Structure 1
């Protein structure tokens, strides 16, 4: 029997999925349910599961992050995402990460559930793991880079252990270590722009052990900096989660009210604690992340500046250009000319 885990923050959705699909017919057993990504990971550590069906947007850990962590825990786990609407950006991202299918929850009554489950089970049985050589080894290094550039490990002990385990498993060479350190530091600087990065050693470590030690030192300094705000561990972790979620989706045009709901804080308390812990306002942080996303789009695409401005959440192109120059010293067109292909 295929063991499946259903993850959704709404009890009625979990119950509906249990009752509606013909699980037994296709050799699937619902091993458990979870109302959050955190509880799902706890379940996965204690129970072998082959199929993960997860909501894509939940308070706390998102469905995308859950898929990442679940597949790091067990690369053979297959994921199906649950979404309330045809959000193709999220769906495409999940499919790029290895999800085998998606289900729009609002269309369950109109779907051929028998056919949908048959399709999912067929995909599970036909997909085979690739040997970890050549291109797949490069993919493994990309996974390590994503882990090290994430903010989750800064306050979360399990996240940090996962990162160290990934580094030890793939044992990057000197060139890979140098690139990992550069990219990790670059992404973390975006997440914590007010931290004194001049304190952090510039020279790249020469091996995996040196990389691990450098990360331990950086983690300790970031934790000390965050804790100087005087807030509790729970609140600091909530803010760091919010920071990571925004950085993962830099062009999602999120609102402060939405982010505060992700981490279960009131809008006013979130605003105050974010400013105190991060040493800048939420709106300023969002601008910084959006300009960074715009920089990448200017270099990697040929879309016009007005399109990129709108894509990154700026309705006024002149304001976008002014803010872009304040942060980079260049107008968007100048930045593209200097750094483009």
Structure 2
């Protein structure tokens, strides 16, 4: 079970989400509750968690304040924001500080289940045991190697390719592909596509971008191919995804 902290200044909401949603069915256990960001930080000192479901606007220390502090200290906890505020500025700042998703109150069962099912998959991938396979150039710190590859993809996602990634870490492309899969649980190409799709979702939250523009921004020359890949990843095409965002806000 992955540990989840619920943070909301409204007792009814906090208590209801904690006690009346079937978290165990999704692979999560409630580690605790907090009524503001400050209490959450104090809780985390002794009780680390995997995910925080957090309201954005709270007294003492807001959800964004909490996310900002965790981000600044490189604390790797996934955050899902929960808020009654339909303000795009909140969304933009939430993304900056690594929010995995943003749910508008009142919460819907299907939406909450969908978001946390996806996070469960991410956590499962990240928690796979390290491989005993050693890199050809005898890199002693596997995490450094993998992080270099991930960093390359995240900075060059529109054009990222296995050959260039291998060049950066001075390894054979075939070996990089095998090694990356064994270390992370998913292929290099899947990681590139996932990064492209996550970036595309961020761009779709901004109404100033047209779908065909976003297609080009994430490295797809053909908008139809982009739409097909996006739907395969999110279960909705870009247009449906954007409509759903509009309905939330």
TM-score, normalization by structure 2: 0.48
TM-score, normalization by structure 1: 0.36
Structure with larger Rg: 1
